[in-house]
Structure 1
Amino acid sequence: MTSSRWTVPLLSVLFVLLWASGFIAAKLATRTTDVPTVLFWRFVIAAAATGVAAAWLRPAMPRGRSLVHLVVTALLLQVGVFSAVFTGLARGVPAGLTSLVVGLAPLLVGLLTPLVLSTRLGAAPAIGLIIGAGGVYIVASGGLSAGGPVGPVLLPVLGMAFLTAGTLYQKRFNDDTPVASGVAVQMVTSMLVLLVAMPFLAPQWLPTGAGGWVAVAWLGVINSAGTFAVMFVLLRRRSTVHVSALMNLSPATTALLAVPLLAEPLTGRAVVGLLVALVGMFVGLGAWPRLRRRRDDVSPVTRSGSMHP
Structure 2
Amino acid sequence: MLFILLWSSGYVAGKLALPHAGPFSLLALRFGVAALVLLAVAVLTRAPWPRTARAWVHLAVVGLLMQVLHFSGVYSAIQWGLPTGIAALLIGMMPLATALGAHLWLAERLTPLQGWGLLGGAAGVALVIAGRPMGGADWQAYGAGLIGLAGLVTGTLYQKRFCAGMDLRSGSGIQMAVSALAVLGLALWREPALPDWSLELVGATLWLALVNSIGAFSLMFVMIRRGQAGAVARLFYLIPGVSALMGYAVLGERLSGQALLGFAVSAGAVALVAMRDRQTTAR
The TM-score bracket by the shorter chain reads: over 0.9
Match of 1:225 among 214, 217, 221: 214
Asked if structure 2 preserves the Cα contact closer than 8 Å seen for 1:135 and 1:277, the reply is: yes
Is 1:46 aligned with 2:25?
Answer: no
CA distance in structure 1 between the partners assigned to 2:198 and 2:179 by the alignment: 24
Q: How many aligned positions are there?
A: 281
Q: CA deviation at 1:184?
A: 0.8
Give the Å deviation of 1:147.
5.4
Structure 1's consecutive aligned runs of 4 or more residues displaced over 4 angstroms after TM superposition are: none
Describe how 1:187-198 pairs up with structure 2 within 5 A: 187-198=176-187
What does residue 124 of structure 2 align with?
A: 135
CA apart distance, 1:288: 7.9
- Deviates further, 218-227 or 261-270: 261-270
Indicate how the Cα distance of structure 1 residues 204 and 134 shifts in structure 2: closer, same or farther if over 3 A, else same. Answer: same
- Give the TM-score normalised by the residue count of structure 1: 0.85
- CA deviation after TM superposition for structure 1 residue 180, in Å: 1.6
* Offset, 1:32: 2.5
Distance 2:277 2:175 in 1: 37
Within-5 A mapping of 1:78-227: 78-144=67-133, 148-151=136-139, 152-227=141-216
Q: CA deviation at 1:37?
A: 1.3
Find out whether 1:19 has 2:14 as its counterpart: no
Match of 1:72 among 61, 72, 76: 61
Counterpart CA distance in 1 for 2:206 and 2:196 is: 10
34, 46, 50: which one aligns with 2:22: 34
Aligned partner of 1:283 among 272, 277, 282: 272
SS in 1 for 2:49: coil
Structure 1 spans left out of the alignment, 5+ residues: 1-12, 298-309
TM-aligned CA deviation for residue 196 of structure 1? 2.6
2:29 aligned partner, one-letter code: W
Is 1:261 aligned to 2:254, yes or no?
no
The 8 Å contact of residues 59 and 175 in structure 2, kept in 1 or not, is answered as: yes
| 1:26, distance to aligned residue in structure 2 (A) | 0.8
Q: Is the 8 A contact 1:207 1:213 kept in 2?
A: no
- Superposition CA RMSD, Å: 2.0
The residue identity in structure 1 corresponding to 2:276 is A
Identical residues among aligned pairs (%): 35
Instruction: Give the distance between the partners of 1:214 and 1:107, measured in 2 at CA.
Output: 34
